[in-house]
């Protein structure tokens, strides 16, 4: 369907975490120089929920997120960064690297509440038209499939993999990077936001944002 928008309801992390993400992104770009840089249109973030929302219902979806936030103690949302890991993402010889996070129980409750709130405004069948693209850019099948399958595959304690994407690297370099010691740290939300997605799960276009009380 061409009347859908691929959205990511996400957590923008605190400044300390942002510095970690940018440092790891620089490391990945040493491995794959033409990989994406974290910037205003590739925002470091923690995905909570991705869905295809009917474009005509976006305002209703924002209100649903707002109501969910009003009923949530966002100060209780926390994560622990525990490792660098990667996933194959359709690029031969490369992996998409992430800071792997261990979410607190309140994060999973928040995800469940968001899913219930916005489901009335969602549809299946999203195409490349649902995403932000640069001129001449297509949307990979893996990206289309990821958003389509986010529910149920990334939902709840047995499915959700909380992470911050930090870029592409070669599989050889990732083997070395993942074997290095990792200094764990706590991650807390700065804002909660809805973004329109781009390729590889990038948060490309800010649609709506709410501060997270500290």
Whole-angstrom distance, CA of residue 77 vs CA of residue 57: 27
Could you please report the per-residue DSSP string of 126-138?
A: --GGGS---TT--
pLDDT digits (tens, 9 = 90+) for 21-64: 999 999 999 999 999 898 887 889 999 999 999 999 999 999 99
pLDDT in tens, 128-177: 999 999 999 999 998 999 999 999 999 999 999 999 999 999 999 999 99
CA 49/CA 147 separation, integer angstroms = 9
| Residue 126 neighbours by CB distance under 10 Å | 24
Total domains in the chain come to 1
Q: Which domain holds residue 207?
A: 4-211
Rounded-to-integer distance, Cα 132 and Cα 183, Å: 34
Q: What are phi and psi of 187, to 5 degrees?
A: -120, 130
What pTM value is reported for the model? 0.92
Q: What CATH number is given to the structural domain containing 79? A: 3.90.1140.10
């Amino acid at each position: 369907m061409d009347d859908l928008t691929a959205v990511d309801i996400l957590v923008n992390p605190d400044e300390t975490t942002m510095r970690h993400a940018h440092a790891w992104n620089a490391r990945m770009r040493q491995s794959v120089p033409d990989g994406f840089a974290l910037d205003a249109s590739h925002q470091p973030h923690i995905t909570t929920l991705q869905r295809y929302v009917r474009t005509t219902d976006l305002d209703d979806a924002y209100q649903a997120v707002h109501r969910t936030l009003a009923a949530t103690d966002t100060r209780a949302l926390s994560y622990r960064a525990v490792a660098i890991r990667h996933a194959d993402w359709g690029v031969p010889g490369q992996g998409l690297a992430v800071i792997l996070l261990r979410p607190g129980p309140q994060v999973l409750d928040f995800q469940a509440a968001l899913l219930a709130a916005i489901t009335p405004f969602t549809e299946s069948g999203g195409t490349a038209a649902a995403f932000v693209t640069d001129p001449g850019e297509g949307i990979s099948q893996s990206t289309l499939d990821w958003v389509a399958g986010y529910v149920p595959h990334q939902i709840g304690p047995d499915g959700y993999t909380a992470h911050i994407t930090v870029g592409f690297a070669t599989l050889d370099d990732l083997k070395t990077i993942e074997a290095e010691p990792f200094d764990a740290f706590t991650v807390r939300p700065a804002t909660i936001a809805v973004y329109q997605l781009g390729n590889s799960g990038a948060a490309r276009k800010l649609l709506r944002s709410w501060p997270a009380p500290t």
